[in-house]
Structure 1
Amino acid sequence: MRRTSKVYAGLAAITVAVISVIMAVGAAPAGAAVGGSGPYPADYETSASLANHTIFRPQTLPSERLPIVVWGNGGCSANGLSQGNFLREIASHGFLAIANGAPNGSGSTNAQMLTQSIDWAVAENSRQGSKYYNRLDTSRVAVAGFSCGGLEAYAVSNDPRVTTTVIFSSGLLNDADDYQLRRLTKPIAYFVGGPSDIAYPNAMDDWGKLPAGLPAFMGNLNVGHGGTYDQPNGGEFGRVAVLYLTWRLKGDTSAGANFVGADCGLCRSQWTVQQKNLTLDGGAPPTTPPPTTPPPTTPPPTDPPTTPPPGGAACTAVYSVQDQWNGGFVATVAVTAGTTALTGWRVTLTLPGGASVSSLWNGVASGTSGTITVANQSYNGRLTAGQATSFGFQGTGNGGGTTATCTGS
């Protein structure tokens, strides 16, 4: 069961309100000056043929074709300058970045606006007389967004023109939307603000549900939900976004080395990194081989309860390792009520020697190593007969061999 935070759900309104205040006092727009740290100083513009969007591009178009990045703003804000510093930085490295919303626009955006951005770029690339005629690489398209904008990105990630999806501090709010994860076929990357990020539980829930075999990267920087978008050149989030897009949209394997393998560039930084099915272009394998004996996808509990415990209702807990790398793992535990409804549940986990829990979501843990207990949160304790929920955690060491048992009330 996914955590749907009322605070997270209300973030869009808060973000839009803050932007409105800034506009009211006449603050200079974030993208008003030419800049960025890349070789092509960038600016923004608008187009009559793409209403309610803001287009970030190198001021002087380079000879190389520009890959395309379409962007959903935080709060689904219709101010296309909401993450102006960040998007201008991306454009300065040789990309065309199109944000939903007009410069200093008001109101809200929707996912269809991202599709409109792709349509417009493809059309301009083929239109004689356009400044972008044969100047865009329409075979390399990233759909991306921050917070509410990340939800917009998910919604159109199945567009066949999309090369990669990039989710910034966001995660699906409802389990009913998990079909958007199941239909993913192109590489995806997450850049999240760490456990203090209000979107962290939802992002990690999505991470655990990605299709098997999908190339995926997860990076957490403990800066909270606001990220670093407003810092000069988008701060650290701007830096890693450029590296990821340079790898995925330009085929630069030196940039890709920041994301692949146990000795990746971000692995040796303040980022907390997880990887799935990642190889550099050309098929070079990660530097860390998979575990010699990988744990089965859904190992059964060693000793599942067969009868209701005294004073409690029956439930089962099924533990599975979602991802294992050298020195760490991500696991989920599916909790299912038996023939009697539950008002609460408690899972006992016995971890192998050397393994410990570093962060946990959708549950309340007691202890971090050896035998620990995880109780339900307030929002996922009540289960009807046969109903299931889940919690997950990131750990250090090897996740294989953990056992799980469940008691209910």
Structure 2
Amino acid sequence: MLTVAASPADAAAGGSGPYPADYETSSSLVNHTIYRPSTLPSERLPIFVWGNGGCAANGTAQINFLREISSYGFLVIASGAPNGSGSTTSSMLTQSIDWAVAENARSGGKYYGRLDTSKIAVGGWSCGGLEAYAVSNDSRITTTLIFSSGLLNDGDDYQLKRLTKPIAYFIGGPSDIAYPNAMDDWGKLPSALPAFMGNLNVGHGGTYDQTNGGEFGRVAVLYLKWRLKGDLGAGATFVGSDCGLCHSQWQVQQKNLTLGDGTPPSTPPVTPSPSPSGNPGCTAAYTVQNQWNGGFVAGVVVTAGSAALNGWRVTLALPGGATVTSVWNAVNTGTTGTVTMANQSYNGQLGPGQTASFGFQGTGTGGGASATCSAS
């Protein structure tokens, strides 16, 4: 296991989850704060990138909240240096994603093969929520979380129209200054988009400074466990007329939500397929991560065999009617029927038994596909 070096006392490892978390910085990601379990678990860490309230470049401004999330087995990256000053931009969220993907693929790095780059969420509070909106069309993002925020001008409504991944709102009730904007956005979402709206009457300030992020920290963990880790018990907090938040102090609205549109596939994962005879270099495991009416998101984990790989190629046999619309961490040839996915320049070299992952979004139904891997 890996451990972080000693950090300031005010950042002592904490959170209520099974992996007490701390923060660190990286010279290759300046002006950001990285929250991680102090001891990396054996499971790969999904990624959550965060925009601070006020677009303030202080990556520890919501430390209780972000450390709580990380303690449940997430890599969390906040824009801004610890106790930093100045302002952030939405591009800093993209920098966070780029860095995490690169670090997962960097041989010899502490995060090499330890991150799940097919499970990435973006979120933010207030001005940070506007930053999250701005990058939510990044094809690598699995879901968006908006905290006490809403678009300020109708001219920005194009950001809503381009949403294709599930979204969740956690708002501070009618006394929240962002409440009218958030509710206006809610009414303008694409008709088929899976969406959750929760209002807790705490005002714009939320509960981020409370122990472990208070109630906002609790529900954020549950939502991310559902969307990024496939925890259906956590998903039941948000889905259905009898959802866990439905009979609580939260005021809840739902659109197009079913437990099956969370990370867990609605059909069992495809058993890793051996490479073609004579080229047993790798295996590929395919899962449907999100499925909704008319579309899906799928992920593939490539595992090297007993020998190192300098490159890999996965052949996917898609079900009839399925079409690939966007791809991340791989380069595709074809979009329907038999589709080939090849490694990018940064994730093709794998040691024996090491893994790389890629994902894609498509129209139609993702279940029933098969995946075969070969060394290239």
Does the Cα contact within 8 Å between 1:30 and 1:84 map onto a contact in 2? no
Partner of 2:4: none
Partner of 1:102: 81
Partner of 1:273: 252
CA distance in 1 between counterparts of 2:124 and 2:198 reads 15
Q: Deviations over 1:113-144 (max 9, x none)?
A: 00000000000000011110000000000000
Moved over 2 A (4+): none
Where does structure 2 lack aligned partners over 5 or more consecutive residues?
Answer: 1-7, 263-376
Q: What SS class does the counterpart of residue 266 from structure 1 fall into?
A: coil
CA distance in 2 between counterparts of 1:30 and 1:114 reads 27
Which aligned pairs between 1:7-406 and structure 2 lie closer than 5 A?
A: 32-281=11-260
Q: Deviations over 1:149-203 (max 9, x none)?
A: 0000000000000000000000000000000000000000000000000000000
Does the Cα contact within 8 Å between 1:31 and 1:43 map onto a contact in 2? no
Q: CA RMSD in A?
A: 1.4
Give the CA deviation at 1:33: 1.6
Does the Cα contact within 8 Å between 1:30 and 1:85 map onto a contact in 2? no
TM, length-normalised to structure 1: 0.62
Q: Which amino acid aligns with 1:81?
A: T
Give the CA deviation at 1:30: 9.7
Q: Which amino acid aligns with 2:163?
A: L
Q: What SS class does the counterpart of residue 56 from structure 1 fall into?
A: strand
TM, length-normalised to structure 2: 0.67
CA distance in 2 between counterparts of 1:212 and 1:80 reads 35
Q: What SS class does the counterpart of residue 268 from structure 1 fall into?
A: coil
Q: What SS class does the counterpart of residue 260 from structure 2 fall into?
A: coil
Q: Deviations over 1:342-393 (max 9, x none)?
A: xxxxxxxxxxxxxxxxxxxxxxxxxxxxxxxxxxxxxxxxxxxxxxxxxxxx
Give the CA deviation at 1:281: 2.0
Give the CA deviation at 1:31: 5.6
Residue 259 to residue 46, structure 1, CA distance change in 2 (3 Å): same
CA distance in 2 between counterparts of 1:233 and 1:252 reads 20
CA distance in 1 between counterparts of 2:206 and 2:52 reads 13
Structure having the higher Rg = 1
CA distance in 1 between counterparts of 2:131 and 2:167 reads 14
Residue 202 to residue 48, structure 1, CA distance change in 2 (3 Å): same
CA distance in 2 between counterparts of 1:89 and 1:250 reads 16
Q: Percent identity?
A: 83
CA distance in 2 between counterparts of 1:154 and 1:282 reads 21
CA distance in 2 between counterparts of 1:88 and 1:224 reads 22
Residue 282 to residue 70, structure 1, CA distance change in 2 (3 Å): closer
Q: Which amino acid aligns with 1:261?
A: G
CA distance in 2 between counterparts of 1:71 and 1:209 reads 24
Residue 30 to residue 68, structure 1, CA distance change in 2 (3 Å): farther
Give the CA deviation at 1:94: 0.2
Q: What SS class does the counterpart of residue 59 from structure 2 fall into?
A: coil
Q: Which amino acid aligns with 2:73?
A: G
Residue 199 to residue 246, structure 1, CA distance change in 2 (3 Å): same
Q: Deviations over 1:52-101 (max 9, x none)?
A: 00000000000000000000000000000010100000000000000000
Q: Which amino acid aligns with 1:244?
A: Y
Does the Cα contact within 8 Å between 1:56 and 1:96 map onto a contact in 2? yes
CA distance in 2 between counterparts of 1:66 and 1:195 reads 35
Q: What SS class does the counterpart of residue 281 from structure 1 fall into?
A: helix
Q: Which amino acid aligns with 1:153?
A: A
Pairs aligned (count): 256
